[in-house]
Structure 1
Amino acid sequence: MENYFHPCLTDDQIRAISSIGLAHMGDAVFEILVRTWLCAHGRATGRGLHQATIRLVCAESQAEKAKRILPILTEEELGVFRRGRNAQVHTVPGHATRAQYGEATALEALMGWLWLKGRLERANELFCIMMEEEPHAV
């Protein structure tokens, strides 16, 4: 692969990536989408911007947002989501339950998988649905 801005790995290459690896990638994808969303809605101001980002990317928020998209995921996407939720995570942040952290990891794994498959339009579609009920004022 030579263009890391537009990755498109084979199915075999993606299957070789652990659930934690997919979630690692998806964490970054989700955060850049959140940061872009905040900037696009005129919230690009110092500390408030950082606090808003933290609020939107925390496990509790991601778990809540995952519920919004579950009904519209394809079977393939649901498989990736389940794989991420079942990842063997050894530490859970004190502010989230194990269930919330599992859902957040699942969402991140899905976003990482979509990124690595080159399915950016689908990742964006799901992100927009997740953010529909989010107030623009942060």
Structure 2
Amino acid sequence: MEESMNLLAQIKREFGLGEVDLRTYSPLTLAFVGDCIYDLIIRTVVVERHNASPNRLHKEKSRLAKAQTQALMGEAIQGFLTPQEQAVYRRGRNAKSYTTAKNATIGDYRKATGLEALYGYLYLDGRMDRLMELLKLSLQELDIHL
């Protein structure tokens, strides 16, 4: 089967989007995109591995998408991040958000935002291989099985 075009490249081509300096994006903008790409990856894995009811699929996805789990995942990969990736994570973690997760501490919410900012940055930088590497690593470090 022929390898399909990178999703980001296809979106840019289809909608006539140009290159943007990622340093101009706020960390909360990166987290906005990172939340979505993380959710898409987790949903894809859950659906591909489990032929189950939508309710069961949602529960499995939600277990991994909550702020507490994402905070643990962010902590688990700190020793594997490059200095640039650490800086993006820190910017996301330290960003002043006006919202919080309903069932999370402020600390967990901020760490989760840092992780999402990092994932958004890697996605928008076209570095899906690195994003996947870090996501798999965080699951392994926490012994989370999908």
- TM-score, reference length from structure 2: 0.83
Aligned with residue 120 of structure 1, among 123, 128, 133: 128
Distance in 2 (CA, whole Å) between partners of 1:8 and 1:114 is: 17
Moved over 6 A (4+): 5-8
Instruction: Please tell me whether residue 93 in structure 1 is matched to residue 101 in structure 2.
Output: yes
- The change in CA–CA distance for 1:80 and 1:45 in structure 2 (over 3 A counts) is same
Stretches of structure 1 lacking an aligned partner (at least 5 in a row): none
- State the structure with more CA Rg: 2
Match of 1:3 in 2: 10
Q: CA RMSD in A?
A: 2.2
Count of residue pairs the alignment pairs up: 134
Aligned with residue 79 of structure 1, among 87, 105, 125: 87
Match of 1:134 in 2: 144
Stretches of structure 2 lacking an aligned partner (at least 5 in a row): 1-7
Higher relative contact order (Cα pairs below 8 Å, separated by 6+ residues): 1
One-letter amino acid matched to 2:103: H
State the SS of the aligned residue for 1:4.
helix
State the SS of the aligned residue for 1:134.
coil
- TM-score, reference length from structure 1: 0.87
The percentage of aligned residue pairs carrying the same residue is: 34
Match of 1:67 in 2: 75
